[in-house]
Amino acid sequence: MSADVPDPLFRRMSADGAAWLGQLEGGLKLRAYRDVVNVWTLSAGVTCYPDGRRVCEGDECSPSEALSLFCGALLRFEQCVDHAARPGIYGGQFDSLVACCYNIGEQSFRTSTLLKFVNADVPLPRIRQQFLRWTLADTDPNHEGLEHSPGLRRRRLCEWELYSRGVYLTQGQIRE
């Protein structure tokens, strides 16, 4: 099978899930911007082009290029979750894990206790705790180290709601 042709046997994020993830990432941006941790980003959370180049200040793209960048980036994370998560994870649970992986990165996801707990099918409250461990970010250049990010906490709660109840919520709909 060609490397350009997706494996029809691997799990994919649903269309609703991809639209939801695009919303969590702030939509398709056509001009490069700095994300909450000061990384140049384009489209919906894309930090690298398919050829490996990093997004830089001043980069721009068309709406169709932004969608293509997002879909191409998403494929990597779908494949990561498909290979790492136990069989039987589908629908909202799969979409939720792909969204988390998209945000924390493939290596962090593959080695996370969250994934270990999902694969061991531990009780849901313990899985919720693992989602909520991923709320730290280096958002303040004047402060050394990581801080709790209210935005990341809301995102993790969105991912949790989808994982546990199958409900696609946006950060503005989260009530604690």
Residue 57 contacts residue 33 (beta carbons within 8 Å):
no
Phi-psi category of residue 43: left, alpha or beta, with phi > 0 → left and psi -120 to 50 → alpha: left
pLDDT in tens, 61-92: 999 999 999 999 999 999 999 999 999 999 99
Q: Residue 140 — pLDDT band, cuts 50, 70, 90?
A: confident
For residues 119 and 14, what is the distance between their CA atoms, to the nearest angstrom? 21
Which run of H or of E encompasses 147? strand 147-148
Sorted by where each starts, the structural domains of the chain and their CATH numbers stand as 15-171 (1.10.530.40)
- Band (pLDDT 50/70/90 cuts) for residue 143 is confident
Q: CA-to-CA distance for 117 and 127, rounded, in angstroms? A: 6
Please state, in angstroms and as integers, the Cα–Cα distance from residue 148 to each residue in 25, 50, 137, 175, following that order.
18, 31, 6, 18
The answer on pLDDT for 2 being more than 50 is no
